[in-house]
Amino acid sequence: MMFTKQFGQSPGDFIVTALFTALQSMRKIDDGVNFATISNARLCGNPGKFPRAIGCFDTVGCPYTLKERGETGVDLLIRVKDKNLGYPKNLPDEIARDAEKHILVGIGRLQKQFDPPQNAQHLVLSQQYFSTLPPACLLYVQPFWEGEQVKLQLRCREQDFTENELGQIAGTFRATLKELIAECRLSDLRVTPSDFPLLNLTYVELDDLVSTRLSRVSPQPLRDTDAIFACTPRQEAMLVAPAIYPELYQCSFVVRIRLPAIETSLDFSCLREAWGILVQRHEALRTVFIESSNRPGHFDQVISRNVPNPLVFIGDGDESIAHHILPRRPVVFPNYKATHHAMLCKTSKSSAYLRLDMSHAIVDGQSAEVLLRDLSRIYGNQSLDTHVMPYYDFVNCQQQLVEDTSVAYWSKYLAGADPSYFPINGDQSDRRDLGTVHQEMKIKPGLLGEFCGSLNITVANICQVAWALVLRSSTGLEDICFSYATSGREAPLKGINNTVGAFLNAVICRIQVPMTASVPQVLRKAKFDFVDSLQHPHFYATDNNIQSGQFGRLKSNTLMSCQRKVTANTASTPEERRHVQTPHSNPTQLVPILATHSAV
């Protein structure tokens, strides 16, 4: 019997759908049927469903109730699939309690074989009265494969179902299952709430999403889309800013690729293939941003399943090509389009330049190192770290971090504060370009560390207070507020450090710098406030109501980002801002030449 994956459903969804139809046809259970599934799958939580373990190997899913709504066939199958996974969450729904009478479906032996040959159209019924069922279990149903035949074992107490009733259930079940599979083969793909669980959309909203937005990303959006979920607040800030200044939050990386041995040559076809593997490995490189269909003014991100290889060759050249690709303006990435562009130019048989342009909404500072490391290893046919974390794990983690204690902390911390806007000269609507000031401050080795040690503070505290003093001088205010960027990679998520993504956060820093206070006093207070905020590092960045409400204005118009700079010996251009060193154990060298980004 061929169980299709047309709607992302499982074999157990087919079994439950056919059983529900069979039970409803008997009209023995008029107020709905409670179902629970039991399998040997390991525990896995998701935003909609939290199973529980019994014994050493079995897992019982969250019980749910199915009621008659007039659906049949595929429509009912879709609802069963979503109910089994705990969706849709935002609609009035029935959740059965463990103590209520229910049908228990054991799908452990059905999961081992999913797509048998299509000619396996048998179903053999084995019925047995069983007195040791759990007290609330009316019927235990266990489908399993035997060769190419699906067999079904039904167990119950004699007072619950008679032998004739079991026979009726089996007959209706068999006919319904065959009709259901035939209907699925003729049906078009349809999206359901459990396909994109983090969007929390209704069926109607999902249909609108596909027809009005996803169709602009791909002509076959359901087949080509791997996942859709909301952007983080920091990502949204990066997507909104280019509407005024298109080059804001656009990153550029230029890397020189070379082989140390003159007699060897770069394999450009292999390099192109390696980049394609890299794109499939990191979903950030397959990300497209779209306007949210149910949250006006916000954005969602679409992870495409397959994308064309975006590595573009611009032909042969020599070392002078660096003067062509280094000063190029950043590529602007509009919504509904790819968010990165790669350009490769051969300078000799053993060297080339690679320029990467990416939206800052898909990468952070560590992402460049991860990309270069993985590209080098793939080209060198070396093993990679096995686990790359899906970015929606990070989004989901942030959405669940908001707590009442964090609300109370930030409300108290920012109470009575006013925004501190850095004055900008001229009419901002007339600005056509952005300027960048690069200033190096040379400090004797050990002097900064000695100063920090004497006050028990960090370099970040010094930078925060220094900027607060600049804002005090520019605004005349003594109570200063501005934003500062923090990393989200400390989240307890497996594989986060091997993943490319915008693991960023923006938190408000409030520093009071009255004229009567000394610098050491302000530094120590900044340090204590920072330590206190470590227990609430994500709240302000993840709570959209706070972000856009009473405290949104306190972000002001400046943002500080403190990064540790590692200088590369080969970097000598005046435009360089930040360098990445990548460890290599294969002969191919990826030497960072330039890494820039435009931000405010």
- CA–CA separation, 36 and 54 (whole Å): 13
Question: For residue 518, what pLDDT is reported?
Answer: 93
Q: Which domain holds residue 53?
A: 3-186
76 lies in the same domain as 102: yes
Question: For residue 284, what pLDDT is reported?
Answer: 93
User: What are the distances in angstroms from CA 308 to CA 225, 254, 275, 305?
Assistant: 14, 22, 11, 10
pTM to 2 decimal places: 0.72
Say if CB 338 and CB 290 are below 8 A apart: no
Place 488 in a pLDDT band, splitting at 50, 70 and 90: confident
Q: What is the mean pLDDT of residues 455-476?
A: 92
Q: What is the mean pLDDT of residues 17-39?
A: 81
* Residues 189-234: tens digit of each pLDDT: 777 887 787 787 888 888 889 888 998 998 888 788 888 998 988 8
Q: Which of 186, 220, 253 is the last residue of a domain?
A: 186
Say if CB 331 and CB 357 are below 8 A apart: yes
Neighbours of 386 (CB within 10 A): 7
- CA–CA separation, 518 and 522 (whole Å): 6
Question: For residue 515, what pLDDT is reported?
Answer: 92
82 lies in the same domain as 19: yes
Place 568 in a pLDDT band, splitting at 50, 70 and 90: very low
Question: For residue 523, what pLDDT is reported?
Answer: 95
Three-state SS annotation for 136-178 = CEEEEEEEEEECCEEEEEEEECCCCCCHHHHHHHHHHHHHHHH
DSSP assignment of 191-210 equals --TTTSGGG---HHHHHHHI
Residue 579 lies in a domain: no
377 lies in the same domain as 414: no
140 lies in the same domain as 55: yes
The residues pairing with 538 across neighbouring beta strands, listed in sequence order, are none
Residue 568 lies in a domain: no
Residue 429 lies in a domain: no
DSSP assignment of 218-270 equals -SSHHHHEEEEEEPPHHHHHHHHGGGTSTTTTEEEEEEEEE-S-TT----HHH
* Residues 341-351: tens digit of each pLDDT: 888 888 888 88
Place 110 in a pLDDT band, splitting at 50, 70 and 90: confident
214 lies in the same domain as 362: yes
Q: What is the mean pLDDT of residues 572-584?
A: 35
Q: What is the mean pLDDT of residues 382-389?
A: 82
Q: What is the mean pLDDT of the chain?
A: 76
The residues pairing with 197 across neighbouring beta strands, listed in sequence order, are none
Question: For residue 187, what pLDDT is reported?
Answer: 77
Edge to edge, the sheet with strand 311-316 lists 311-316, 340-348, 351-359, 250-258, 589-597
Angle at CA of residue 256, ends 382 and 267, nearest 5° = 50
Question: For residue 29, what pLDDT is reported?
Answer: 64
Long-range contacts of 517-521 (CB under 8 A, 24+ apart): 519/465, 520/455
Q: Residues 6 or more apart from 581 whose CB is under 8 A from it?
A: 369, 566, 568, 592
Q: Which two tokens stand for residue 57?
A: 């190997």
Q: Which two tokens stand for residue 2?
A: 């061929």
Amino acid at 356: L
State whether residue 377 is helix, strand or coil: helix
181 lies in the same domain as 264: no
Place 481 in a pLDDT band, splitting at 50, 70 and 90: very high
252 lies in the same domain as 213: yes
- CA–CA separation, 444 and 440 (whole Å): 13
Higher pLDDT, 582 or 202: 202
Identify the CA nearest to 323 among candidates 573, 570, 579, 567. Answer: 573
Q: Which of 333, 352, 384 is the last residue of a domain?
A: 384
Count of structural domains within the chain: 3
Question: For residue 573, what pLDDT is reported?
Answer: 39
Question: For residue 48, what pLDDT is reported?
Answer: 42
Chain mean position to CA 520 = 42
* Residues 492-515: tens digit of each pLDDT: 888 898 999 999 877 889 999 999
Higher pLDDT, 32 or 55: 32
User: What are the distances in angstroms from CA 493 to CA 196, 297, 370, 537, 556?
Assistant: 20, 29, 16, 16, 31
Task: Map tokens 């994500």 to a residue.
Answer: 538
52 lies in the same domain as 173: yes
Percent of the chain with pLDDT over 90: 15
501 lies in the same domain as 411: yes
Residue 594 lies in a domain: no
Q: What is the mean pLDDT of residues 155-179?
A: 86
157 lies in the same domain as 211: no
274 lies in the same domain as 128: no
Q: What is the mean pLDDT of residues 309-331?
A: 67
User: What are the distances in angstroms from CA 10 to CA 49, 86, 91, 182, 390?
Assistant: 15, 14, 23, 16, 22
Q: What is the CATH number of the domain that holds 400?
A: 3.30.559.30
